[in-house]
Amino acid sequence: MAPSPRATPARAVTFARHGRGTSSASFARARRRWEDARATSGRWARATSEAATVSTSTRVRESARAGDAALAVARRFAEVVRLGSTIALVALDKRRYDELGRAVGALGPAYAKFGQALASRGDIVGRDVARALMDLCDDMEPFDDEAAVRVVEEELGVESPVAAAVRDAGPPVAAASLAQVYKATLDGETVAIKVQRPGIEAVVDMDAALLRLGASAVERTGKVKAKALDAVNEFCSRLYEEMDFRREAANLTQFNALYGENGSASKSFPKPGIRVPRLIDTYGVGRRVVVMEWIDGEKLTRGRDKSVSADDLHYVKLGIACTLSQLIETGVMHADPHGGNILKLPNGGLAYLDFGLVSTVPRQVRDGLVAAIALLIFSRNYAAVGRLFGELMLIPPEVLEDESEMRELERALEDAAEATLKFPENGGVPDVRFDQLLGALLALVPRFKFILPPYFLNNARALGTLEGMAKSADPDFNILAVVYPYAMTRALANPDESPVIRKVIRQLATDPTTDRLSLRVLFKMLRDVSRLTGASALRVAVDALARREGRRLLLDVLAREFRNILDSIRRLRVRPHR
């Protein structure tokens, strides 16, 4: 079969040059140990940290014994420098912006991922740059079709019908940094076959080693308090996860059970809601090949500037609502929702694609997010937010037990909020640009030794990506106007009976002038949620009262008000007569 007309020999060489050499066996052994560590570890954070360490430093150490790893890393470094200089020249010349995506993509998957993260942030890098980087999502140069067939045969067998389907499919319909997708037919059904680029494992191995060396050098200078090596470990761990399509198949099955047509969380969204492709594993799933149901739809981003039409803003809002459900309700989060991974459907629904990056957010952290949002916006209680971080074990004991440090943290949180949140004079939800808020909070990480969960940056990037898409459709879009009422509705109902949320919602319902629970303050919360969601205050109240925790909150507030009345009566009785 002839190569795809868009494929170029130079592109194939870029990825194949670091293909299966003498060090690949040791790298494969390291990757297997990484997978074992990830599968058997009881703690996500430790597993991912060990994973990245095994998949980089151990690989390099073992290969060095064979005498080829150091040379391979040096060659890769020279190539990165050469290609990086090309990117710099392109970035400095607006007339060459159309070449930017291809130039970044030529560096390989590790660097392409950074480019993808910026592709939806035209408000940060500028629309022209963002548009050019969007090519990294699904419009990169494809590799040779025969090479794709060989990958399928190596993974699923020479006689596999999947290999025949790829051979008959024609050119790929999409090509990204890790893989390309074919629209094919299997057993009379239209399917999507995702095939990994040949040779990228060794490219990522070298880049992971380089990134670790760079991070170690930065830390040794002592001028940066942030744990650069931990950040690199997390990034590399996620990249290796994404390269194992067996993991993607498991992620897809789990996500479908939650957000698919009959998923347990699908009722949270108005019909037609969210669509998730069905995994097709009849002929097996390979480490580099996965087959799923084909979904017909259109890209959410379109046009020369790769923006979202104002008419399509409701699709992005649906995506944000689904992301909040993942982040706060279910804890299973699609962490890579860029313009190439979500489709608008003819019936008004939204389809999610590409499940290589799916994070698991623990219940404790989900509850903490709800509580922190409510405290930060409704009451601006920065001291309570600081204490909450301690309860969630996001700051170490030496900071938590130091009163002066906690006061400093409170002041730093207040400064960060004042610098990034613009509260309206008449009250309500502040305007914010998510990337600025995130940047201000991340600046506190080294100062107060925050212990960030390994999924934190990916999940923050997912929400930031959707915010960027929404702002391309509506520059005045305020993501907090969506996030805040969602969090408050969740806090009022407290459906999982979280003790953290129970404590915080009572703090919020307390009148600061009397330090007692107040029906007036509770009604103010209901009005806030009502105004922002468009639902009546009565509807918000009924939804909260449908949950036991909501009823318990109301009873506690009413009991406090009744005691207030009794106290007032007693004071009247003992008042001396004149």
Q: What confidence score (pLDDT) does residue 106 get?
A: 80
Q: What confidence score (pLDDT) does residue 138 get?
A: 60
Distance CA 245, CA 196 (A): 9
Distance CA 487, CA 464 (A): 17
The torsion defined by the Cα of 481, 356, 130 and 230, in degrees rounded to 10, comes to 80
Low-confidence ranges of the chain (pLDDT < 50): 1-56, 59-61, 63-66
Residues 489, 529: contact at Cβ < 8 Å?
Answer: yes
CA nearest neighbour of 69 among 58, 78, 80: 58
- pTM confidence score: 0.75
Residues 234, 48: contact at Cβ < 8 Å?
Answer: yes
Distance CA 109, CA 242 (A): 11
Which DSSP string corresponds to 294-362?
A: ----EESSBTTTTB--GGGHHHHHHHHHHHHIIIIII-EEE----TTTEEE-TTS-EEE---S-EEE--
- DSSP 8-state class, residue 99: G
Alpha helices in 443-547 (DSSP H): 444-448, 456-473, 480-493, 499-508, 519-533, 537-545
Axis-axis angle for helices 24-40, 228-242 (nearest 10): 100
Kindly tell me the sign of the dihedral angle through the C-alpha atoms of 186, 190, 191, 192: positive
Q: What confidence score (pLDDT) does residue 186 get?
A: 95
Q: What confidence score (pLDDT) does residue 309 get?
A: 86
Helix (H, G, I), strand (E, B) or coil at 393: coil
User: Token pair for residue 208?
Assistant: 């992971």
Distance CA 270, CA 544 (A): 19
